[in-house]
Copies of this chain bind each other. A is one copy, B any other.
Amino acid sequence: MDALYSCNPTIVSSASPPIPLAAAWARSFSPTPSRPLLNLAQGVPGAPPPQQLLDRLAHCTADPETTKYGALEGDDPLRVALADDVVRTYGTLQGAHPVGKDDVVITAGCNLAFYATMLALAQPGDQVILPTPWYFNHAMTLEQLAISLVPLPCPAPTFLPSPSRCAQLVTPRTRAIVLVSPNNPTGAIYPPELLREFAALARENKVALVLDETYRDFVDGRPHGLFAETAWREYLVHLFSFSKSYALPGHRLGALVASHSLLTQVSKLLDCLQICPARPAQRALAWAVDGTRPWREGTRRELEARQRVFREGVEGVEGWEVVTGGAYFAYVKHPFGSSPSQLVAARLASLAGVVVLPGSFFSPRLPGDDAAQDDRYLRFSIANVDETTLRLVPDRLRQLSELWPSLSPSLGDEA
């Protein structure tokens, strides 16, 4: 007995979430105490938040005040804390109008911030430029909203987008250019000068530059200087997630920093999408932005160490190559030539117990485009596990390489 009514054909024909498929691969492996499953698929914090933050979260949750509705733009103490953090992270603005709380809106996760931003900027049929490989939820969002996705291929080995190639893609229907740095899935860190070139391109063409910096806190130094210039409100839409920096994705909080005119439209959308973001974690995070700096600094150093350990380990396995890496992710070239990355990922999970995402998850699905390049790659989320566990990965890769010649060359049931 199923529905007599039919659904929106745009949504029916749109892509399904890929993470559950990786979860199914994970279930196909039988772990043993000496051969555990290594899940490097979804980008998730490998350790809980610090005990002090957990205590604050519980304390704020026990207060009946946080069971009430809050402001639709988020609670002021967190907006103030995040605005101060932006000033601290990106440099102090000389002159008037530094980033303040009125430039900030808190959302129920960074995905929702992206969804609201796209809805606020583009109508069905408008165009948004997305570098490929892309973060799949960005591509899915555009598909769901019938916004035309214009892929900007980022070639190996740097996976950096080219401003001049991007300029050729801009048309009168272009509404935004979306960049993610540090990048998901490649881990590539976009240099400040490159971001400055994209800023100039966005201003010149009067389109928004949507810059998702979810993984910003895991890289040392100032990510870019755009916020330190008065012109940032003319073009910049900054997206941030509290999930990764503060290790609490289960609380679902993100943020958006942008011009007053965009936030006015976004607020209308958020009134219908979220009413307000969940409140207990907002209150705890207002403290945590300053209160957990040393812990976040430690996490950053740990991830940098993991990147080194991972790279060195994989370099010792014949045929496998870490092409880019930074913050949470490493983008790894597999040695199985034209075998589809989805087949490689399925077998790596079921036969060697390492769950990763295939490059094809981050690529255009249409024939005739750049999917072929990304099919040579796998995304490893090295943030998920500790260094000791990460050291188990190279042997597993070696095991799959040894098994590979005996396996059927066709797709089979695994993918």
**Partner-B contacts on A (CB < 8 A):** 1-12, 14-17, 19-20, 42, 44-45, 48-49, 54-55, 57-59, 61-62, 64, 66-70, 72, 97, 108-109, 111-112, 114-115, 119-124, 126, 137, 140-141, 144, 146, 175-176, 202-203, 206-208, 230-231, 233-235, 247-252, 258-262, 265, 267-269, 271-281
Given A8-B122, A61-B57, A61-B280, CB of A250 within 8 Å of CB of B206: no
Cα–Cα, bound, A109→B112 (Å) = 13
Given A2-B259, A58-B59, A206-B5, CB of A252 within 8 Å of CB of B274: yes
Among B1, B49, B59, B126, point to the contact of A234 (Cβ < 8 A): B1
Q: Which residue of B lies closest to A247 (CB)?
A: B67
Given A61-B61, A97-B1, CB of A252 within 8 Å of CB of B276: yes
CB pair B64 A54 closer than 8 Å = yes
Q: Which residue of B lies closest to A137 (CB)?
A: B272
Return A91 CB to nearest CB of chain B, in Å: 17
CB pair A61 B64 closer than 8 Å = no
Q: Which residue of B lies closest to A279 (CB)?
A: B250
Cβ contacts under 8 Å, A207 to chain B: 5
Given A61-B57, A274-B112, CB of A280 within 8 Å of CB of B250: yes
Among B20, B119, B175, B235, point to the contact of A144 (Cβ < 8 A): B119
CB pair B268 A1 closer than 8 Å = no
Cβ contacts under 8 Å, A203 to chain B: 4
CB pair A3 B58 closer than 8 Å = no
CB pair A10 B123 closer than 8 Å = yes
Given A7-B120, A231-B1, A233-B1, CB of A249 within 8 Å of CB of B108: no
